[in-house]
Structure 1
Amino acid sequence: LGWAMQLHYGCKRDNDVKRFRKLGPDTGFDCIDTYTPSAQLADLLNALNVTDELPKTILYSLNPNDNAAIGTIIGCFQDAGVAGKIQQGSAWWFNDHKQGMIDQMTSLANLGLLSNFVGMLTDSRSFLSYTRHEYFRRILCNLIGGWVENGEYPADEEILGRIVQDISYNNAVRYFGFDL
């Protein structure tokens, strides 16, 4: 498989100590953290890149205000050998709702190349999280369709179909090196 590093940040965990003690970890009581480590993140990626050790990387922030910072950081470390080598991850956790997904994909399209996006992630701890993929695809199609209606994207069904298929499936297969 094609290994990838995934970095998740922007969460303040277990804020309600009373309930944490009673219920344990991963039972809620987390919130968005406003600390944005963009300088440190860029320094980390640069240190790995200088020594030719930078793997394919997906960056996720729980804070939607970090979308533009991530979009500019990923643009600094692309590589001709791997399409979308450094990716902005899908809207995640508190952001995997309609507006969160729209905001994340719009920011990515504004600052990068949406067509290389690996799409929605799955929380393997919850079987019901798989329904997010279908919901994500509806939002993706509606977003791109709106851009077409506004004259911002070409009204070419073949190109649009390929973009949606790639984001929904093909990009992840290629990126992670799945042999399907």
Structure 2
Amino acid sequence: MPKSILYTLNASDNEKLIAAAGCFHDGATAGKVQFGSAWWFNDHLDGMAKQLRDLANIGVLSRFVGMLTDSRSFLSYPRHEYFRRILCRVIGGWVADGQAPADYELLGAMVQDICFHNVANFIGIQG
């Protein structure tokens, strides 16, 4: 099976798709089948936060390839900034609640991976 990213328009399918994506490993590609970012009807604060929480609960958030863009629209690029803010808010909430360590070096590296390095590795470009 080739590297793939699964997207849903129905947030109630998150858990099923995350579980299915986790079934495909080849030992060579980290996160070979990915659950994609919240998109279309889920591309808002609650939808993105739910997607991140669901992925952290069932999948491996640190391997997530992050936000995508509609490259046909210049105005879709701010979506990445919005995504980064929501990602940091969710992770910061876990730290504040004692669910994640207050290790800013570790968490900062994870955010950088999610926002750039994971997708660069996934599609095979040097970052």
* TM-score in terms of structure 2 length: 0.96
Task: Point out where structure 2 has 5 or more consecutive residues left out of the alignment.
Answer: none
Per the alignment, residue 109 of structure 1 pairs with 56
C-alpha offsets along residues 51-96 of structure 1, whole Å, 9 cap, x if unaligned?
Answer: xxx0111000111111000111011112321111110000001111
Per the TM alignment, residue 179 of structure 1 is displaced from its structure 2 partner at its CA by 3.1
**Alignment equivalent of 1:84, drawn from 31, 38, 42:** 31
Counterparts of 1:45-60 in structure 2, within 5 Å, are 54-60=1-7
> In 2, distance between residues paired with 1:108 and 1:93?
18
**Residues 127-148 of structure 1: CA deviation (Å, up to 9, x unaligned):** 1000000000000000000001
What is the alpha-carbon distance in structure 1 between the residues aligned to residue 106 and residue 112 of structure 2?
Answer: 10
Alignment RMSD (CA, Å) = 0.9
**Higher Rg:** 1
1:100 is aligned to 47
Q: Secondary structure at 2:34's aligned position in 1?
A: strand
Larger relative contact order (Cα-Cα within 8 Å, sequence gap ≥ 6): 2
Alignment of 1:71 with 2:18, yes or no, is yes
Amino acid at match of 2:90: L
**Higher normalized strand content (fraction of residues):** 1
Residues 2-27 of structure 1 deviation map (CA, whole Å, 9 limit, x = unaligned): xxxxxxxxxxxxxxxxxxxxxxxxxx
Structure 1 residue runs without a partner (length 5+) = 1-53
Runs of 4+ in 1 over 2 A off after TM superposition: none
**1:133 equivalenced with 2:80 (yes/no):** yes
Cα separation, 1, equivalents of 2:36 and 2:19: 13
Measured in 2, the distance between the counterparts of 1:75 and 1:105 equals 15
Which residue does 1:150 correspond to in 2? 97
Say which SS state the counterpart of residue 70 (structure 2) adopts.
coil
Q: What TM-score do you get using the length of structure 1 for normalisation?
A: 0.69
Matched residues, number: 127
Residue equivalent to 2:109: 162
Q: Higher helix proportion, which one? A: 2
Match of 1:123 among 70, 77, 81: 70
